[in-house]
Chains A and B, each alone.
Chain A
Amino acid sequence: MAKVVVDAMAMQRALTRITYEIIEHNKGIDGLVILGIKTRGIYLAERIANRLKQLENATVPVGELDVTKYRDDIEHDSTENDPKVTVSKIDFPITDKKVILVDDVLYTGRTIRAAMSAIMDLGRPQQINLAVLVDRGHRELPIRADFVGKNIPSSQHERIKVSVSEIDGQDSVEIIDR
């Protein structure tokens, strides 16, 4: 049983609101960089960057972050231990920047912790803020999002499925009872 809790329009609105909140919070976009956590976080990051560009007529750099090997809850293949082997794409410095970390769903917090580790490996930003499309609760770490599209209190038996039109053909957030 899948139930759509955020439709395309609502998702657009959530991203619009997050964009304005980012401007409000940072008093503009100076020194801002956006890092999307793969896979869907990247598309959301790009959309936020597009919106900022529309409003401020300035480009905010967008990077892609792959945090798989930083996850403490996934066992890693020892051959992948070379720190240079990374699929993250960040071709700009992040030291002293204000980083907006973007992901689709905030759940246990472990992805975000891993993402912060990844970022710290790359440089020393001035600050890191977190924007998520959905906060579904059930945190296992002391992590909190600064910008939330929608709070969806969910049971652990449910799955939250975020679709973005770039790869899924539609924009939606669904709750799936498993």
Chain B
Amino acid sequence: MAQRFLILEDGSAYPGIGFGAGATTTGEIVFNTSMLGYQEIITNQIYHNQLIVFSQPIVGSIGIAHDGYESILPTTKGVVVRDVTAISKNRQRSLSLDKFLKQHNIPGISGIDTRHLIRKLQQTGTIKGSIVDVADDHAFDQLHATVLTNQQVAQVATPRPYPNPNQGYNVVVIDFGLKHGILRQLSKRDCNVTVLPWQATAQDIINLDPDGVILSTGPGSPLDLPQSVLEMIQTIQQRMPLFAIGLGHELFALANGSEVSPLKLAHHGANHPIRKIITNEIIYAMEGQEFVVNPDSVNRDRLITTYVDLIDGSIQGLRHRDYPAFSVQFFPDGAPGPNDSVDLFDEFMEIMGTRE
């Protein structure tokens, strides 16, 4: 295992030990404070173009598991940790996190003072970084010169439709970089799912005559997606039950006249209390957001705020006043994270049920 460096846009360089792939990569630095579920986090496509800093001090301790994939082909730019352990628990005892990252050409770096990095990011806000072999001027030049794509959704979302057949409700999932947790929850509820590419039009959806539509999670900025996506939402929400998650939630807000703006610092973690306004319950859920709905911009004649984060005050859920359409910023499917809000999928089933 060779020495490698994590370098940041602000000129700092941290030596560490490389693991996973030996590739040199650049991305935004984001951190995740979840205490478990490294495999789910690494395979979540919301981290496309990003380097994930883990606050959990040890990753790799349970290897790679069948039920831990949130996508089959992860596209994160790197994994930054304090400590990595080569454990494999699969049938052949041969798939450690290190090997998994090699297979997907994702570099990792261990031995980093991740607590320091996380504290530092509070001050710098989201910045770019690279995992490199040598922290020289050239490396920094490359880092500064790298322009990250804003076509993340197009990069990770499915290019063509595919089915996940079952006997229950007909649900169309629009894939913006879908995490598998959503499919898992629909599967558990016997839904007959059709996943459509993110460019699907309202007519494409209506042609399939579904009972309901889910707008999936995904990477990047909702502001970088074309107007046609918002138009699709505006039409569909009038026609059938709609449930939007993560990036889907941000798009749902935009489609209904709200503003969405980037956070100074992305928030990824499962430890914030979230108030479910209608019942005043407190729940916990995995949050993974770089954008937030601007509360002042929410048109109260059209939308009701349904969930709010009690630590940073951010809007975590919305519902349309006139249609059975609702959204959450957090990930109700867990994976990783608490299941406190997983019954939002049941709520969605029941809404579809009333319209039979």
A21–chain B nearest beta-carbon distance, Å: 8
B107 to chain A, nearest CB (A): 44
Measured CB to CB, the nearest residue on chain B to A13 is: B347
A1-45 to B contact mask, C-beta < 8 Å, 1/0:
000000001101110110111011001100000000000000000
Q: How far is the CA of A13 from the CA of B278 in the complex (A)?
A: 10
User: With A24-B322, A55-B304, A148-B354 in contact, do A9 and B277 touch (Cβ < 8 Å)?
Assistant: no
- Taking a contact as CB atoms under 8 Å apart, the answer to whether A17 and B354 are in contact is yes
B304 engages A23 (CB within 8 Å): yes
Residue pair B354, A19 in contact (C-beta under 8 Å): no
Query: Which single member of A20, A51, A54 contacts B319 (CB below 8 Å)?
Result: A20
Cα distance, A96 to B306, chains bound together (Å): 30
Q: Determine whether B351 belongs to the interface, using a CB cutoff of 8 Å to chain A.
A: yes
Chain B positions 293-338 with a Cβ under 8 Å from a chain A Cβ = 304, 306, 319-324, 326
B35 CB to nearest A CB, Å: 26
- Docked complex Cα distance between A23 and B343 (Å): 21
B346 at interface by CB-CB < 8 Å: yes
Contact in complex: B350, A55 (CB < 8 Å): no
CB-based contact B350/A51 at 8 Å: no
DSSP majority for the A interface? Answer: helix
Instruction: Say whether B278 contacts A17, CB under 8 Å.
Output: no
Cα–Cα, bound, A20→B304 (Å)? 10
A161 to chain B, nearest CB (A): 21
Q: Which residue of B lies closest to A52 (CB)?
A: B278
Q: Which residue in chain A gives the minimum CB-CB distance to B304? A: A55
Flag if A54 contacts B280 (CB, 8 Å): yes
Determine the interface band of chain B, counting residues with CB < 8 A from chain A: 10 to 19
B323 to chain A minimum Cβ distance, whole angstroms, is: 7
A54 to B319, CA, bound (A): 14
Would A55 and B351 be within 8 Å (CB), given that A9-B343, A10-B346 are in contact? Answer: no
Q: Considering only CB atoms, which chain B residue lies closest to A16 in the complex?
A: B278
Given A17-B354, A148-B354, A24:B347 Cβ within 8 A: no
A54 and B279: CB pair below 8 A? Answer: yes
Contacts of A21 in B (CB 8 A): 324, 354
Residues of B contacting A12 in the complex (Cβ-Cβ under 8 angstroms) = 279
Q: How far is the CA of A59 from the CA of B244 in the complex (A)?
A: 29
Give Cα A5–Cα B192 distance, bound, in whole angstroms: 24
Given contacts A17-B354, A51-B278, contact A24 B346 (CB under 8 A): no
- Contact (Cβ within 8 A) A24 B323: yes
Can you add 9 more A-B contacts, CB < 8 Å, to A9-B346, A16-B279, A54-B277? A9-B343, A13-B347, A13-B350, A19-B278, A21-B354, A24-B321, A51-B278, A51-B279, A54-B280
A-B residue pairs in contact (CB < 8 Å), sample of 29: A9-B343, A10-B346, A13-B347, A16-B278, A16-B279, A16-B347, A17-B347, A17-B350, A17-B351, A17-B354, A20-B304, A20-B319, A20-B326, A21-B324, A21-B354, A23-B304, A23-B321, A24-B321, A24-B322, A24-B323, A28-B321, A51-B279, A54-B277, A54-B278, A55-B277, A55-B278, A55-B304, A56-B304, A148-B354
Taking Cβ atoms with an 8 Å cutoff, the residues of A that contact B are: 9-10, 12-14, 16-17, 19-21, 23-24, 27-28, 51, 54-56, 148, 150
